[in-house]
Amino acid sequence: MNLGFAILLALPAPILGALVWRRVGSLRPVSSRVVLAVVAASALVGGLALYVERLLLRFTDLSLQIQGGNAATAALATFLLAAPLEEAAKVACVWPLYATGRLLSPRVGLLYGVAAGVGLSVVELLSLSRGLELNGLVLAQLSLGIPVQLFASGLWGYWLGRGDRPRGKWFRVAWLLAVGIHGLYALLISSGAPKLVASALPLALSMGGTGWIALRDMTPIEGSIGHERRGILRSLPEPPSLRAMRRALRRSDRPIMLHWILIGGLVTLGVMLVCVAGAVWLGHELAIDFSHAESSGPEAGAPLFLLGSAVLLSFPLAGFLVARASAATSVLEPALGACIAIVLLALTLSVSTSSGVLMSLGLAPVAFLLACVGAWFGTSG
C-alpha cells in the first residue's frame, strides 16, 4: 500500500485526539508540549512493542488471524500477548506523568490516555499497511483499528487521573477491562473474516457514543450542542448521562425481582425473533438473497446488515417493554434479562461455528448498552 494513502487513513486518530484535547482544554488549559510528548513517546514505545509482539508471534508460531480451526490459539495470542502488551506500552508513556503528579484530574488522565492511543494507533496502522494490497476488507480492518486504541487507553487514563482518591484503586480493574475490550475487538478485526470484521463496527460505534457521553458529562460547555437542542432535536429524548445510567443500574429500595429477570430474557428473545422475521420480510421485498449470508464475499453484506440490525434493535425495544411492564425504578432487571438472552444467543450460535460465538461476543457489549438505554427510557417515561 502506498505510504501516502496509509498516512491519510491514519489521520482520524490525531483528529479525534485533537477534538478530545480541545474539549478538555476548554475548562483548564493543558500543556501542549506534554500532550505532544505523550504522543511521540507512545509512537516510539508502541512501535517497539509491536516489533516485540511480532517476534514473539513468530517464535511461538502463533497467529492473530483465524484460519481453519485455530480460533482458540488466535484468541490466546490476542488476549494474552497482543492486547496486554500494547496497553502496557501506552501505560508506560503516561505513568511518569502520574508519578510526578501531573495528572490533576480524571479529565486530564483521559486526555493523556487518548494521546497515548493516538501515537500507537498511527504507528500500528502504518506498520500493518506495509505489503498489503488495498481492498475493501483491508481498508475496513485498518480503519476500524483506530477506535479501540483511543477508547481503551482513555478508559484506564480516566481512572489513573483519579490519583490516590478512594476510587483510584479502580485503575487496575479499568486496565484489565481495557485489555479485555481491546482483545475482543482486535480478534474480530484481525481475523480476516469479513463477517467478524463487520461485527466490530457496532462495537466501534458504541465506543464512540460512550466516549462522547463521557466527554459531555465531564466537560460541560454552555452553549454547546449538548445544552442547546433546536429544531427536531427538541422532540427527541435527552441522551442519558453516565451519572444517570450509574444511578439507574443501582439497586432500588425494593429487592431484585428474579421473575422479571427471567421474563426479560424471554421477552428479549421473543422481540428478537419478531425483529429477525421483519428483517427477512423486508429482505425479500428488496430482493435480497439471504443464502449469501454464509458467503465470505461482499455479497454477504446486505443480508448480514439486515439480520444484525434486527438483532440489535430487539435489545432496546425489549428493555423498554420490560421496564414499563415491571414498573421498575432501575434498569437492573431488564439489563440482567438482556444478559440471559445474550448467553442463550451465544450458545445457539456456538452449535454452528466458532465465528458465530465471536460475532455474538462482539455484539454482546453493544446489546447490553442498548438494553440499558431502552430500559432507562422505560423507567424515566
* DSSP assignment string, 253-283: SSPP-HHHHHHHHHHHHHHHHHHHHHHHHHH
Q: Return the closest-CA partner of residue 151 out of 265, 336, 20, 330.
A: 20
Is the separation of the CB atoms in 195 and 359 below 8 Å?
yes
> DSSP alpha helices (H): ranges in the chain?
3-10, 12-25, 32-60, 71-77, 83-99, 106-129, 136-160, 170-189, 194-218, 242-249, 258-285, 301-326, 332-350, 354-380
pLDDT of residue 233: 46
What is residue 219's predicted lDDT score, i.e. its pLDDT?
64
| Residue 35 near residue 21 (C-beta atoms within 8 A) | yes
**What are the Cα distances from residue 331, in Å, to 18, 43, 378?**
35, 41, 9
Q: Buried b / exposed e across 330-355, counting CB within 10 Å, b at 16+?
A: bbbbbbbbbbbbbebbbeebeeeebb
Indicate the domain borders of the chain. 3-218, 240-380
* Vertex 11: Cα angle to 7 and 16 (nearest 5): 160
Quote the pLDDT of residue 245.
62
Cα separation values, 293 from 4, 208, 346, 360, Å: 35, 27, 18, 15
Give 226-284 pLDDT, tens digit per residue: 444 454 445 545 556 666 666 655 555 566 677 888 888 899 899 999 999 999 999 88
pLDDT in tens, 65-111: 877 667 788 888 999 999 999 999 999 999 999 988 888 788 899 99
Residue 342 identity: I
Q: Which residues of the chain have pLDDT under 50?
A: 166-167, 222-229, 231-233, 236
Q: Give the model's pLDDT for residue 199.
A: 82
Instruction: Indicate the burial class of 70 (C-beta count within 10 angstroms; 0-12, 13-18, 19 or more).
Output: middle
pLDDT of residue 111: 93
Residue 34, C-beta contacts closer than 8 angstroms, at least 6 positions apart: 97, 102, 112
pTM greater than the 0.85 cutoff: no
CA atoms lying within 13 Å on the CB side of residue 226: 15
Output the pLDDT for position 166: 45
DSSP 294: G
